[in-house]
Structure 1
Amino acid sequence: MSEPRRDESPAAAVEAAVAGELRLLDPEVRRSPELADALLHPDFHEFGASGRHWDRAAIIDMLTTETETEAETAPVSVSRMRGVQLSADVVHLTFDTEDDGRRVHRSSLWRRADGRWLLYFHQGTPFTV
């Protein structure tokens, strides 16, 4: 693992994680295994809103398949995005998404590796209003 960057403020670390999270919601990134791969930590895993556990390879495959079949849907709506830097190399984000009427609370851990912020862990929990 790389040395922590002492010159990066907590705000800059959170901004980098938010930018990565929003890129992962971009249909162009989701359609591209290469672009999605570049944002995921080698040890990435997720507990999805479906209850399924995903590893890195499975999530990349699902994202590519999902966007091929749902290319005409409206973009995912994101709200209440908040972040906090937990350590020099870890940022925690929480936010909500709405996609075709389905609402999900989301939590992500972004970890700096080799000077880049990568998604290490993600969890989604469906909710109703």
Structure 2
Amino acid sequence: MMDPLVALAWRGEEALLSPRVRSSSRLLDEHLAPDFSEIGQSGRLWSRAEIIPALLDETAAASEATMSDREARSTGPETVLLTYRLQLDGRQSWRSSLWRREGDTAQCFFHQGTTIQLASVDDEPAS
């Protein structure tokens, strides 16, 4: 059986990828903690105040997102770290998010995305 906080966090993470949540300032407000910050795939540091308008302006079809290699790790009595691989718009990235229990729900307080450069034959490691 999955830990209740882990289940809440995964539901929240999946919701944050949905067009319904990404197009609603009210729903983004519910899912992102007041102290939220993000390191984007470009390396840019985003505050909560910056990321909400950016998500609302996004045109990418997040409904096409596919999560894999999902893992969860408790980082404290009220916090959990989620890591996974995301495929979206033909690109892949590793994602990590920290979630904190807030009453009956959980809020994301940190997120990072790192682009995966897909290896070619020339990128094989030397042995």
Structure 1 length-normalised TM:
0.84
1:18 aligns with 2:10: yes
Q: Structure 1: which 5+ residue stretches go unaligned?
A: 1-8
Does structure 1 conserve the Cα–Cα contact (< 8 Å) formed by 2:5 and 2:101? no
- RMSD (CA atoms): 1.7
1:113 aligns with 2:96: no
Does structure 1 conserve the Cα–Cα contact (< 8 Å) formed by 2:18 and 2:63? no
Find the aligned partners of 1:10 and 1:57 in 2 and give their Cα distance. 32
Structure 2 length-normalised TM:
0.85
Q: Kindly name which structure, 1 or 2, has the bigger radius of gyration based on alpha carbons.
A: 2
Percent identical residues: 42
Match of 1:104 among 78, 93, 97: 93
Query: Bigger relative contact order, structure 1 or 2, given CA contacts below 8 A and separation 6+?
Result: 1
Find the aligned partners of 1:43 and 1:116 in 2 and give their Cα distance. 16
Question: Aligned pairs, how many?
Answer: 118
Deviant stretches of 4+, over 6 Å: none
Find the aligned partners of 1:124 and 1:23 in 2 and give their Cα distance. 17
